[in-house]
Amino acid sequence: MPQPKKSQALPEVTPDIVKEHGLTLQEYKRILALLGRAPNFTELGIFSVMWSEHCSYKSSRPYLKQLPTEGPRVLQGPGENAGVVDIGDGLAVVFKIESHNHPSFIEPHQGAATGVGGIMRDIFTMGARPIALLDSLRFGDLDDPRTRFLLNGVVDGISNYGNCTGVPTVGGEIYFDSCYNGNILVNAFCLGLVQTDKIFLAKTGGVGNPVIYVGAKTGRDGIHGASLLASSEFDETTEAKRPTVQVGDPFTEKLLIEACLELMKKDWVIGVQDMGAAGLTSSSFEMAGNSGTGIEFDLSQVPLREEGMTAYEILLSESQERMLFVVKKGHEEETLEILNKWGLDGAVIGQVIESPEVRINYQGKQVVNLPISPVLDGALDLKRPKSKPKYLERVQHLDLTELADPPRGDEALKQLLASPNIASKEWVYEQYDHMVRLNTLVLPGSDAAVIRIPNTRKAVALSVDCNSRYCYLDPFEGAQIAVAECSRNIACSGATPIGLTNCLNFGNPEKPEIMWQFEQSVLGIAEACKFFNIPVVSGNVSLYNETKGKAIFPTPTVAVVGLLENLENHCTQWFKNSGDLIGLLGLTLEEISGSEYLKLVFGLCRGKPPQLDKKQELSVQELCLELIQGKLIHSAHDCSDGGLGVAAVESCITGPENSLGATLNLESTLRKDALLFGESQSRILVSFAEGKRDSIAEMAKGKEVPFAVIGEVGGSRFIVNINGDEFIRQDIQSLKNIWKNVIGDYARQIS
């Protein structure tokens, strides 16, 4: 192990040094008041990371309290590494989504890879084996070579890490808009499985228990990743921040998963914490803070991979694949033997003490002596000013009479299918191993992924979603729609939503307009989750997603987990049989505001998002579930981006076998483009045998859900007739060819 050189004299803490650490003068004065003395340089570094936006949630914490976090199935809500939801039979699922946005923009492969590694550690830290990954990715304009470089790097990083660790990436979403040109989003979700009596929390237990370092050696990568990279907007110095991006090793992560899960079978393991953002600093302070105790440790015992590291560097390093364990005293050697068997570094670096403080020694000297409460809870809950953005006065108005209603829809349909936001994502997910462990029932490409729970008849469905264009036009309504659409995807798969996690991506919170967007989005998620009875069990906030003063669209990404008590009742989106009838659940309104169609055909992002009638939404989802469980329908597909027309084509072409054509016969007084390409909410396209028609109609009437038979599956063409006039006639294979290769063709244009 490299030996550190003799410690150099610590730099003097000056106003310039404080500013370089991302702390304001007001915050530094608060530190002085809380400590009753000035912090030394290393202690200042600790405050800088623990009081950063990324770690302290100082701008967002007051709003997050609005979210509903309890429910009959919730075993652990927000506050731990991940949420835990009971699925019965002594089993629970553990899940969370979080961001790795800034690192992925600077160094796309490592940024995305370590984002996957970090979210996996959040899961197995709780004692759960990771069994599925999702990702939600946002990029800028694909005509920009930089975007294509980032796309290739991020996808390669995700696939490399997930594939090497043997955890399947089973789905996700990918979205392109110029608002992400200077700040991409990489949100990673992981779900794990655990026995309900084997859940581990970040705690220390009694005084004298040893604190054990587990995993890879510590280097200089990732220093100030949480405080200065993830908690500030990008500017001309962005490229200089490359050293703050962590470097991952998926093979070490795989060993770490197995070693940790073996250790957690022992009754002498007390608590576990991932060394994520802020590394050894956050893990030690949080574990002690959760238990009302303290920790004393010696940095000279920490395994290092670089020469001459200072105490400051060791404490703030965000080197990957590291964990902190607390075990019962007397079991140190047994712990180290298990780690050695798996080829991992392990070292006893300290012990639990009674006094609620963290004392750190290095090379025979005490370098840190800080009370825990000020470090964990001393950051101010910033009541940042809020104001409604002025741009809304301009963009929320849309006069449909000023837009021509096309006589035919062929070209608009082809244009939509060629949009990267609608086109096949196969180029992305074909690089992921989504079948490893052989529990994936529904592969990427349907509304939701479905994962079998081993040794049971149960399965879970997973979906992630957010229409950021809606959130830009109306953050409250857009956030509600994100929850509704994500849970609708779950219902289309045959599952009942049981829990939600969110990743709230916004611009600079120091700007009142951004804080207004944030507040409205959180309130929207809270209201929708309360209405649909879906608890929020975990989450992440990512602010400062802004470059040179230009913020991303508000992007409150949500991921919903659903439960199927009987896995045989799972459903997919594609048509199965020629001759089946096509039905539509829900009501179509004259709405093209904020739609993909409006953006592509007219070049506009205007109006208000589609209306969301939450009562109708819930009824549509419940009816869909009853139809699936009653074996009355063969397919179910959510109508979202591109509206009914795109949903119908996707139902024709996304199946694993040959494509099936379809004919739609529509009667309506609406504009033709709104009828076919508008994105009215609470609609599900279903297919079924002729003999089931009356039963479905009767059930829909009982639920007060609008239902209409609108067409038939079959043939080799996609035909749409509106009020007896032909609006679209296209060869279905030609449409599939347009849809299939768009993203891959762009991605291969590397310059």
Q: What is the pLDDT of residue 442?
A: 87
Q: Span 731-746, mean pLDDT?
A: 94
């994105």: which residue's tokens?
679
Per-residue pLDDT tens digits for 591-613: 999 999 999 999 999 999 999 99
Strands of the 449-452 sheet, one edge to the other: 440-442, 449-452, 459-465, 555-564, 496-505, 536-542
Q: Are 450 and 441 in contact (CB under 8 A)?
A: yes
Per cent of the chain over pLDDT 90 is: 82
How far from the centroid of its chain's Cα atoms is residue 33's Cα? Answer: 38
Q: What is the pLDDT of residues 663-678, one digit of tens each?
A: 999 999 999 999 999 9
Copy the structure tokens of residue 576.
């199965």
pTM for the model stands at 0.94
Q: What is the mean pLDDT of residues 408-421?
A: 97
Sign of the Cα torsion 503, 531, 522, 513 reads positive
pLDDT at 1: 45
The pLDDT value recorded for residue 403 is 93
Instruction: Between 378 and 423, name the one with better pLDDT.
Output: 423
pLDDT at 7 over 70: no
pLDDT at 8: 56
Cβ neighbours of residue 721 under 8 Å, at least 6 residues apart?
Answer: 663, 664, 665, 666, 727
**pLDDT surpasses 90 at 349:** yes
What residues contact 678, with CB distance under 8 A and at least 6 apart? Answer: 588, 589, 590, 591, 592, 595, 597, 610, 643, 644, 670
User: Contact at 8 Å (CB) between 409 and 722?
Assistant: no
Packing angle of the helix pair 475-492, 512-532 (nearest 10 deg): 40
Looking at 147-156, 439-448, 698-707, which range is the least confident one? 439-448
pLDDT single digits (tens) 228-265: 555 556 555 545 444 557 788 899 999 999 999 999 99
Mean pLDDT value of segment 317-321: 91
Give the full edge-to-edge strand order of the sheet including 725-731: 635-638, 684-688, 581-585, 707-713, 662-666, 717-722, 725-731
CA distance 589 to 523: 25
Each residue of 470-479: pLDDT tens digit? 999 999 999 9
Cβ proximity of 478 and 598 under 8 Å: no
Average pLDDT over residues 697-707: 97
Angle ∠(424,428,431) on CA atoms, nearest 5: 135
pLDDT confidence of residue 440: 87
Distance of CA 359 to the CA centre of its chain: 35
Token readout for 643 is 């509206």
Cα(606)–Cα(601) distance, integer angstroms: 13
- Return the pLDDT at 591: 95
Tokens of 716: 């080799």
* Burial track 519-530 (b if 16+ CB lie within 10 A, e otherwise): bbbbbbbbbbbe
**What are 376's two structure tokens?**
């964990």
List residues with catalytic annotation. 54, 100
Average of per-residue pLDDT across 326-343? 96
The CA distance from 118 to 153, in Å, is 18
β-strand partners of 395: none
At residue 227, the pLDDT reads 54
pLDDT at 490: 98
Cα distance between residue 679 and residue 595, in whole Å = 6
3-state helix, strand, coil in the chain (%, to 5): 40, 25, 35
Looking at residues 139-151, what average pLDDT do you find?
A: 95
Residue 3 has pLDDT above 80, yes or no: no
Task: Compute the average pLDDT of residues 571-600.
Answer: 96
Task: Count Cβ atoms below 10 Å from residue 368 Cβ, excluding itself.
Answer: 24
Q: CA dist 535 to 84, 495, 624, 698, Å?
A: 11, 16, 21, 32
Domains and CATH numbers, the chain: 58-199+432-570 (3.30.1330.10), 200-377 (3.90.650.10), 386-423+571-751 (3.90.650.10)
d(CA 521, CA 513): 12
pLDDT digits (tens, 9 = 90+) for 508-564: 999 999 999 999 999 999 999 999 999 999 999 999 999 989 999 999 999 999 999
pLDDT for 271-298, tens place per residue? 999 998 888 999 999 999 999 999 999 9
> What mean pLDDT comes out for the span 329-346?
95
What does the DSSP 8-state code read for residue 301? G
Assign residue 271 a region: left if phi > 0, alpha if psi is -120 to 50, beta otherwise?
beta
What residue type is 607 in one-letter code? G
Cα end-to-end distance, the chain, whole Å = 42
Can you give the pLDDT at residue 277? 80
Mean pLDDT of the chain: 92
Is a pLDDT exceeding 70 seen at residue 622?
Answer: yes
Which residues does residue 440 pair with via DSSP β-bridges, in sequence order? 451
- Is pLDDT above 90 for 657? no
